[in-house]
Amino acid sequence: MNRVSEKYVITKDIKWEELGGGVSRKFLGYDNQIMMVSVKFEEGALGAPHQHFHTQATYCVSGKFEFDIDGVKQIVEAGDGVYIEPNLMHSAVCLEEGQLIDTFSPVREDFLTGDGPSYFGDKK
């Protein structure tokens, strides 16, 4: 299926999609090869351990998060980046309310269809 977002995504015109557990998101742009998503976390929100075949690069816009990638933990703060190779188990806990920009390749088809599992659990 060919998927392409609008050329300009004006975030003030888009409502946050509530995912539960203190996590919400907005899609910032995508096609079949790449996807960028803004993800907002309340303090204590959890990105439960999961893995996927997509390559992921994440930029921390604000807040503080503890990531665990393949058993290696690291605190990430505003301005930091994270790279997650395909198929590695990873998770994140929001230590201070914040926002991440997640980029995936190829597109997260499961995000667009709503068929995929939720990686966001109860607050810690």
pLDDT at 55: 97
pLDDT at 113: 85
With b meaning 16 or more CB within 10 Å and e meaning fewer, what string describes 82-114? bebeeeeebbbbbbeebbbebbbeebbbebeee
The Cα–Cα gap between 74 and 96 comes to 14
Mean pLDDT, the chain, rounded, equals: 92
110 three-class SS:
helix
Break the chain into its structural domains and give their ranges: 27-109
pLDDT at 41: 97
CATH number of 27-109: 2.60.120.10
116 pLDDT exceeds 80?
A: no
